Structure 1
Amino acid sequence: MGSAVIKQSGYSDVHLEFDSKAIAGRRWGSIAGEPVLALHGWLDNCASFDRLAPMLKGVNLVALDMAGHGRSYHRSPHANYNIWEETEDILGAAEALGWRRFSLLAHSRGAIAGMIAAGAFPGRVKRLALIDGLVPPSAEDAQAPDILARAIAQRARYTRMRKAPVYQTFTQAVEARMNGMFPLSAWAARVLTERGVRPVEGGFTWSNDPRLMATSTAKLNGAQIRAFMSRLNMPVRLVLAEGGIEGMIERLRPVLKGYENIAVQVMAGSHHLHMESGAEGIAAWFGPFLRGEADPAA
């Protein structure tokens, strides 16, 4: 995989302020292009789109560092990172950009947040282009007390007791990212780490809010997930990775039944296939879609 093929280029830094929040990100393309907001996955950052974004011509793509990630704000000590709360930041960022209607390009946790935002505000979202993510695992109602208790305990632990590791060198941080929950190529790990660490005494540590490691204080049940899905009146394209999250393809098959507006393609690659050679195939399928061009293959 040659560096020339995956060279990151053509972006400018973005800083958005709204509701006493500061969101950082990157912009690719022309301001005259179709507005697209890009949402990364859990513990990633906007550099997640460094390979895919330059391939998507004719769009005005702004990739965000979501709250608690990269160079964006961390939520207050008394707040949580429940996934549905991302909706406020998604709409706030769009308002700060002057976008009334826009499309969403999203990966993993960002894809779930995008689905929830689009279901809550279907009049704002023109199209959904999702990568290896759609709905959260559902919870049974009877699990609610245990979920809340676990979330409170975890937040306390990560707030007061967890110390992020310090790596003596940047290379050590990159190696740790390569060998995380989802193994990454050296290039993908490097660009995410460049955006995801901060210097401290003794080396580098992660800039992500440690409270992102805590589970949500509540989880959606099956009926609630179906309610959000039923409001997706816009066209949706979903790429699933053959080597992605274990069991996801099988888990989503019953969820997708009856949704004729959701087109699905299974592509070769890992969970981060948009940062690998799979980016070319994704761009070929998503590009015309995000530009709003008629596509007989949809």
Structure 2
Amino acid sequence: MLAEIEEKSVKIDDRYVAYLELNPKLTAAKTVVFIHGWMDNAASFHSLIEQAAAHQVPWRVIAIDLSGHGHSTHKSAHHFYNFHDYIDDLHRILLKIEAVDVYLVGHSLGALIASCYSAAFPEKVAGLVQIEAHVPLSESPEQSAERLRNGIESREHWREKSPRAIPSKQDAIKMRMRATKLREETVLPIVERDLQLIDGQWFWRHDSKLKCESVYRMTQEHAKAIMSAITVPHLVILGQRGYHYLQNPQILSLLVDAQIEKVEGDHHCHLESPKKVFELILGLVNKN
């Protein structure tokens, strides 16, 4: 039986952030907030929400569409998607929905947002789960000028492009299958949430500005400082066939107090092994 998931949104300034919610009436309960990865959307967590419903967990369960993704509003043409702005958005969303006893579960980009928020606001986070990402992306200061140049040039390239229609819904599905290495039935919810039909033609809903390169990245020292500031219960879940650099012993050594678990799957292991991933999340949330 499918879970009854409510479609909701919250207003932030001139924008709306869309989200899916299970058990919205449990306002004083533990709140598990799912934050998806780059170019994904809240539907990336459908299978985990279904697991939560099947287990009849006494939690509010929320899955956010990050700004520019899914059903959330795009930023205006002269505003781009800086990483730290996602952290600000998360802070405001949690305040707006009056979330209490918050557990953050992030995948990829969402995992990095969750770690930085947990480091900055440990009093607002009861637990942190990171799936296929952990230490914030960083690089040496010597690369700063090149990154700034590439970021600005990518924005100029975006300004010169026009939206392109997708030949068919099936073509969109195949594009996502190639990008994620997932089966059709697995990517379908994400694709359907990211598609819109305009004048008989299919277009992606997400903001094309998301593909612009970052103009700034932390140094390694900044990233280390963020990880050392995480004091909440911390679980890291990695796919057996996920990104290899995430399993580098030197990087993993920065996760001093984190529980590290590996599950079957690639970068989207939470979609390939939803039962095991949910069991791990359940263990962390119920333990605290």
What is the rounded CA distance, in whole Å, between the counterparts of 1:205 and 1:76 in structure 2? 18
Q: Could you tell me which of 261, 266, 278 is aligned with 1:283?
A: 278
Quickly say closer, same or farther: Cα 1:183–1:258, change in 2 above 3 A. closer
Q: CA deviation at 1:78?
A: 2.3
Aligned to 1:171: 170
Question: Secondary structure in 2 aligned to 1:54?
Answer: helix
Structure with the higher fraction of residues in helix conformation: 2
2:147–2:215: 8 Å Cα contact kept in structure 1? Answer: yes
Quickly say closer, same or farther: Cα 1:156–1:239, change in 2 above 3 A. same
Quickly say closer, same or farther: Cα 1:191–1:8, change in 2 above 3 A. farther
Question: Per-residue displacement from partner, 1:67-115 (whole Å, max 9, x unpaired)?
Answer: 1100101122222212121111101110110125411011011101111
What is the rounded CA distance, in whole Å, between the counterparts of 2:140 and 2:72 in structure 1? 33
Aligned to 2:9: 15
What is the rounded CA distance, in whole Å, between the counterparts of 1:259 and 1:274 in structure 2? 20
| Amino acid in the other structure paired with 1:107 | H
Question: Per-residue displacement from partner, 1:237-281 (whole Å, max 9, x unpaired)?
Answer: 01000111243212xx323326443100011111112112x1110
Question: Which stretch of structure 1 is more off in the superposition, 94-103 or 255-264?
Answer: 255-264
1:164–1:206: 8 Å Cα contact kept in structure 2? Answer: no
1:15–1:23: 8 Å Cα contact kept in structure 2? Answer: yes
Aligned to 1:3: none
Aligned to 1:92: 92
2:3–2:49: 8 Å Cα contact kept in structure 1? Answer: no
2:116–2:226: 8 Å Cα contact kept in structure 1? Answer: yes
**Which ranges of structure 2 fall in alignment gaps of 5 or more residues?**
none
Question: Secondary structure in 2 aligned to 1:123?
Answer: helix
Say yes or no: does 1:29 pair with 2:23: yes
Aligned to 1:153: 153
Question: Secondary structure in 2 aligned to 1:215?
Answer: coil
Aligned to 2:260: 264
TM-score (norm: length of structure 1) = 0.89
1:234–1:261: 8 Å Cα contact kept in structure 2? Answer: no
Aligned to 1:185: 183
Aligned to 1:69: 69
Query: How many residue pairs end up in the alignment?
Result: 282
Say yes or no: does 1:42 pair with 2:41: no
Aligned to 2:134: 134
Quickly say closer, same or farther: Cα 1:188–1:225, change in 2 above 3 A. same
Question: Secondary structure in 2 aligned to 1:205?
Answer: strand
Runs of 4+ in 1 over 4 A off after TM superposition: none
Quickly say closer, same or farther: Cα 1:76–1:135, change in 2 above 3 A. farther
Aligned to 1:240: 238
TM-score (norm: length of structure 2) = 0.92
| Amino acid in the other structure paired with 1:35 | T
| Amino acid in the other structure paired with 1:23 | V
Q: Could you tell me which of 191, 197, 204 is aligned with 1:199?
A: 197
Question: Secondary structure in 2 aligned to 1:190?
Answer: helix
Q: CA deviation at 1:196?
A: 0.3
Q: Could you tell me which of 215, 218, 221 is aligned with 1:217?
A: 215
What is the rounded CA distance, in whole Å, between the counterparts of 1:259 and 1:249 in structure 2? 11
**Which ranges of structure 1 fall in alignment gaps of 5 or more residues?**
1-6
What is the rounded CA distance, in whole Å, between the counterparts of 1:92 and 1:169 in structure 2? 37
Say yes or no: does 1:117 pair with 2:117: yes
What is the rounded CA distance, in whole Å, between the counterparts of 2:137 and 2:108 in structure 1? 12
Question: Per-residue displacement from partner, 1:179-223 (whole Å, max 9, x unpaired)?
Answer: 12x222101221111100111235211111111111111000111
2:30–2:100: 8 Å Cα contact kept in structure 1? Answer: no
